[in-house]
Structure 1
Amino acid sequence: MAIASFLIEIFAATMLLLFAVRLVRTGIERRFGALFQSILTRHSNSFVAGGAGMVLATILQSSAAVTVLLTGFAAAGMVTFGMALAGVLGADLGAALVIQVLSYDLGWLQPALLALGGWLYLKSERSNVRLMGRIVLGVAFILISLQFLREAVEPIRESAFLPAIAGYLETDYFSAFIVGAVLAFVMHSSVATILMCVALVQIGAIPFAAGLSLVLGANLGSAFIPMWLTRDMTVTARRIPLANLLLRGSAALVMLIVVNVGGLHEALLVTSPAQSLIFAHIGFNLAVFLLATGFVNQLEQPMSVLMAEPKAEAKALDQFSDALTPLGDPSGERASVAMSSVRHELLQMITQVERMFRPVLDIYEQDDSDAISALWQQDERVNTQLTEIRRFVARMPRQNMSKGQITAARGLVEYAIRLEAAGDVVSNRMTRTAQIKHTERSEFSAQGWKELKDLHAAILESFSLARHVLLVDDMDCARRLVLDKAEVKRMSRNSRKAHLKRLERGQTESFQSSDLHLETLRSMRDLHGHIAAIAYPILYKSGQVLETRLVMEMEKEANDD
């Protein structure tokens, strides 16, 4: 009975730890996704990219999340193989640094974090404030789960059961290495796995030597996580997590053998066992980062040989460079490759529309005909991409596709149509509004212009979120995208109300630019609706969104009664 109670408590504490880490990670991804994209794609120096990856993983508390993010950027052609791999290596180091921060005794912070996070999440209607509350609550839950873990292990520390297992893991370091790898992969979090190992070493439940083997194994297992998460991406993208797996996994295995064969445990025990374990983990990832980051660009060619593109995929990608041609009679596997090619082209379309939308407010400030012509040319490219996707999907042989693949292909074409419409919003409606503003020599009020810039910044954050949803069908991110749509509508509605109040006060600038302000609000709201459309098929499939809002309205009225 004691063993069953122990296992339940351990399982509960572990699940709370996993949930808390995910809560923090997704909250930060949603709140700062656009900023992350800018940091990770603006640099060409591998050590700068590695440093950016380290900072992001420290904030996100997950190297796997940063790896998937960078792999998506590489799939969209936004970052090179070398820069992406450098960012991944930096992310591994950043996740190791998180262990140090979370290992401190921060129990006194738990009530304050719970109170602050709960207040922010429950009492605010603004999505950004609620996300900050989500992040603070996640940190509080991490601290609570670690406390639960220590308390669960404490009663059986002196029993015969745990010391027997600990003794076996200490003598059979390779088995401990495998156990650590399996735990990290199953838990899908190296941070949670290593925190658990540190907690067990801290209370003396397992010796330092066994803990070190477990931690080295966790480094290997965590490198498998992004391999699994990106398994449906193109071969070009999957080379990045594979390269990280080979570098990190081989280094972990070499370190395991050197430490255990050479008997270096005492040398690594520089302070308390738990702290020494954290230092060893950080030192290992720092060494891999410093040794490998300098030659990441040279690894691209060997990885291209090791993971060569299948002929079918290379052919499909080539067809996107020119006009798409029939795929002949592809097998079921080739149909899935074709679907990956369509997603790849949609990633390019999202990026292209974002490049059009990002500088559009500059055209409102300066009458630049060259910039407007450039937007029209970019829109022509988006139109061409839509035509190519339609032709490609239309010629895919339905007899070799499952019903799910056919439905998914249809949904991707519909989203391509929405992206083309989003491009038209920028190139036609917003440029026309900007031209009218310059022709009539109108000016926005200071507050009205600030409202438009805030709305523009909020919409930009959704582009990276839409790319992530397209890549991995993440339900949480899909929900966030729909919530962002509601937030954009709220900001648009509030700006319209504020604008009308300025008109009531007789503000001259607001009178001059009234139609322009309202038309720009409508354009931005419509554009965001097109971008967010990728989320609805995922939410419909899981029953998260209804076809109409009638049920929701009836439930709301019933609750009000």
Structure 2
Amino acid sequence: MDATSVLISLLGGVSLLLWGLRMVNTGVTRAFGRELGKILNFSLKNRFKSFLGGLGVTMLLQSSTATALLTASFAGRGLVTASAGIAVMLGADVGTTLVAQALSFDLSWMAPALLFIGFIRHSTAKTTRAKNLGRIFLGLGIMLTALKLLVVASGPIRDSEVAQFVFSSLAGEPVLTVVIGALITFVAHSSLATVLFILTLVATGGIPQNVALAMVLGANLGGALPPVLATLNGDEASRRPPLGNFLCRLTGVVVLLPVLGLVGPELAKLEADPARQVVNFHTLFNLGLALFFIFFTGPLGKLTERLIPAKTTGSDNARRPIHLDRAALDSPQLALANAVRDTLRMGDVLEKMFRDLQVAFAQNDNFLLNEVRESDEVIKEFNAGIKAYLTELGREMLEDEDERRCTEIMTFTTNLENVGNIVVLNLAELVERTASKQVTFSREDIVDHKKLFDMLLSNLKLSFSVFLTREEMQAASLIHQKQALRDAEQKAVNGHLERLRKDGNMDESSSAIHLGLLSDLRRVSSLISSVAYPIVQEKEKRLKDMKKAKKKEKSRKNVGQPENL
């Protein structure tokens, strides 16, 4: 076989392996992502549970990068400290090595069965979860087929003089070999795929053992880079765990590289098979890092907090979405969490917009009015970004619960943008008319303005909490507060009309602006309170279903009872 054919076969095998890994990761996250998130969240109570949680989740996902992004999401929401996040990622690193251990054995005989089962399951599935189970089996079958193809394709490398010259040259350049391994892993975005590829080369005798070990070190270093880069635009808390994990791996590579030549003979004492020696080295390296750094996650967390300090001043990031990471789209739960985080930031902009409007209205401040208009453009940018992100997520089949959450987020952001439109097109115009015509309001009207503005701001804050938690009592409270604002608005209108009837000299411009303001505030209240109704309706439907079930059960028991004689 000529060199070109060998290269094409290797590239095809690697591509097939990466695609199989992607299918397994996507299938697991889409089928069980919510459960995996709950497991990981539950395990964040101490460093050892965090380690085990990261290990278990990664063995299922077959991707430490996916676990890292999930951990970064928890950290960004304040659910996990930097030290606990580092412990999770140490477990994730060990988890990938255990997957590599399993795949290092010849399991190619399982590939046809997995492909057949996966195809049948995926083609005949009626539910999203069943379809994703088929995707998982297909991905595993593809991975095993790819490994077999790589073994066959890498065979001629052993007899290639050019290849042997290149590898023998690398034997004297361990630093360069580590860099090459890191670059390959970074491009592939999978340390597992790189290690498996190295195993196939070692198994066919195509690469010296010392070069393979150095490339494994590079694969571990390169595997820590994608999560660091993927969270660069995130907030400080979400960036710290990936950075801590990278520092752990970098330390391990720097310490081990000078004595790498002494490692090979020790590995040979454990197993004679060169391929098994390499995969054992991969496991022992990550296990050693975990056993050492698990006791220093606290200082490591503090170090990352110093390297990435919390920003104390505002930045441009506050005026644009920063959490809509496209790499998270493979995990619906992670993508939805990212969308929620930016929706809440959008809400912060809207809350400030209302406060500025209230001050501008009370003081006829044109400068603040310009800031209100600028905030409306920011809200439009948030809404467009979140909608585009969730639209792309929705192109794949989602679980019913994820589909509902996706719709809720898009509906809520649309309502927030509509609120911004009311503020700019209606309320801001009322402020301008007040200033240009030098309108003065009665003491009673000013009291009503402040009361309704304060009630609206309180409802706005409560709507964000309802949107985030979907808590039924808070939803019911928001609906109650909406009705209270509507009653207050009606009372204010009636009081104003009564004063208008008694005082024939009242300014007509003042009256029109006052009534227009009250009407617009009521419209805004209706829009922000709409987030509560689906939650309350779900509760009512659930209660009705329970009553029907009890009634049906009671009827069934009555039918089965013998008639009294």
Fold-level similarity (TM above 0.5): yes
Q: Is the 8 A contact 1:113 1:140 kept in 2?
A: yes
Amino acid at match of 2:109: W
User: Which residue in 2 is equivalent to 1:183?
Assistant: 184
Q: Is the 8 A contact 1:232 1:340 kept in 2?
A: no
Q: Is the 8 A contact 2:121 2:131 kept in 1?
A: yes
| 1:470-485 equivalent positions in 2, closer than 5 A | none
Amino acid at match of 1:224: L
Structure 1 residues 68 and 278: CA distance shift in structure 2, 3 A: same
User: Which residue in 2 is equivalent to 1:315?
Assistant: 313
Q: Is the 8 A contact 1:53 1:88 kept in 2?
A: yes
| Further displaced range: 423-432 or 198-207 | 423-432
User: Which residue in 1 is equivalent to 2:264?
Assistant: 265
- The superposition leaves residues 159-217 of structure 1 with CA deviations (integer Å, 9 ceiling, x where unpaired) of 21221122112222111111111011010000000000011001100011110000001
Count of aligned residue pairs for this structure pair:
398
Amino acid at match of 1:283: L
- The superposition leaves residues 233-285 of structure 1 with CA deviations (integer Å, 9 ceiling, x where unpaired) of 1122211111111111121121111223xx33222223211001111110010
User: Which residue in 2 is equivalent to 1:90?
Assistant: 91
Q: Is residue 125 of structure 2 the alignment partner of residue 151 of structure 1?
A: no
Q: Is residue 277 of structure 2 the alignment partner of residue 303 of structure 1?
A: no
Structure 1 residues 254 and 113: CA distance shift in structure 2, 3 A: same
| 1:467-506 equivalent positions in 2, closer than 5 A | none
Q: Is the 8 A contact 2:323 2:338 kept in 1?
A: no
Structure 1 residues 348 and 275: CA distance shift in structure 2, 3 A: closer
- Aligned-pair identity in percent equals 29
User: Which residue in 1 is equivalent to 2:41?
Assistant: 41
Q: Is residue 381 of structure 2 the alignment partner of residue 407 of structure 1?
A: yes
User: Which residue in 2 is equivalent to 1:427?
Assistant: 472
Deviation, 1:385, is 5.8
| 1:292-441 equivalent positions in 2, closer than 5 A | 292-309=293-310, 313-316=311-314, 334-339=315-320, 350=340, 387-388=350-351, 407-408=381-382, 411-412=385-386, 415=413, 417=415, 420=464, 422=467, 427=472
Deviation, 1:307, is 2.1
Q: Is the 8 A contact 1:234 1:340 kept in 2?
A: no
| Further displaced range: 164-173 or 179-188 | 164-173
User: Which residue in 1 is equivalent to 2:25?
Assistant: 25
| 1:249-264 equivalent positions in 2, closer than 5 A | 249-260=250-261, 263-264=262-263
- The superposition leaves residues 352-387 of structure 1 with CA deviations (integer Å, 9 ceiling, x where unpaired) of x9xxxxxxxxxxxxxxxxxxxxxxxxxxx9998685
What are the ranges of 5 or more consecutive residues in structure 2 without an aligned counterpart? 326-335, 358-367, 387-409, 417-462, 478-537, 557-565
Structure 1 residues 386 and 305: CA distance shift in structure 2, 3 A: closer
Deviation, 1:33, is 1.5
Q: Is the 8 A contact 1:71 1:238 kept in 2?
A: yes
| 1:122-201 equivalent positions in 2, closer than 5 A | 122-201=123-202
- State the alpha-carbon separation in 2 of the partners of residues 102 and 288 from structure 1: 22
Normalised by the size of structure 1, how large is the TM-score? 0.63
Q: Is the 8 A contact 1:349 1:385 kept in 2?
A: no
Q: Could you say what secondary structure the match of 1:174 adopts?
A: helix
Structure 1 residues 398 and 194: CA distance shift in structure 2, 3 A: farther
Q: Could you say what secondary structure the match of 1:314 adopts?
A: coil
Structure 1 residues 342 and 59: CA distance shift in structure 2, 3 A: closer
Deviation, 1:148, is 1.0
- State the alpha-carbon separation in 2 of the partners of residues 214 and 79 from structure 1: 33
Deviation, 1:302, is 2.0
Amino acid at match of 1:58: M
Amino acid at match of 1:78: L
Q: Is the 8 A contact 1:18 1:187 kept in 2?
A: yes
- The superposition leaves residues 474-529 of structure 1 with CA deviations (integer Å, 9 ceiling, x where unpaired) of xxxxxxxxxxxxxxxxxx9xx99xx89x89xx936699xxxxxxxxxxxxxxxxxx
- State the alpha-carbon separation in 2 of the partners of residues 236 and 423 from structure 1: 19
User: Which residue in 1 is equivalent to 2:227?
Assistant: 226
Q: Could you say what secondary structure the match of 2:126 adopts?
A: coil
User: Which residue in 2 is equivalent to 1:551?
Assistant: none
What are the ranges of 5 or more consecutive residues in structure 1 without an aligned counterpart? 317-333, 354-380, 433-491, 512-561
- The superposition leaves residues 82-122 of structure 1 with CA deviations (integer Å, 9 ceiling, x where unpaired) of 11110011000001111000111111111110111111100
Amino acid at match of 2:6: F
User: Which residue in 1 is equivalent to 2:407?
Assistant: none
Q: Is the 8 A contact 2:20 2:143 kept in 1?
A: yes
User: Which residue in 1 is equivalent to 2:11?
Assistant: 11
Deviation, 1:389, is 6.9
Q: Could you say what secondary structure the match of 2:313 adopts?
A: helix
- State the alpha-carbon separation in 2 of the partners of residues 117 and 243 from structure 1: 38
Amino acid at match of 2:381: T
Determine which structure has more spread, i.e. the larger CA radius of gyration: 2
Amino acid at match of 1:388: E
User: Which residue in 1 is equivalent to 2:205?
Assistant: 204
Normalised by the size of structure 2, how large is the TM-score? 0.62
Structure 1 residues 340 and 302: CA distance shift in structure 2, 3 A: farther
| 1:438-449 equivalent positions in 2, closer than 5 A | none
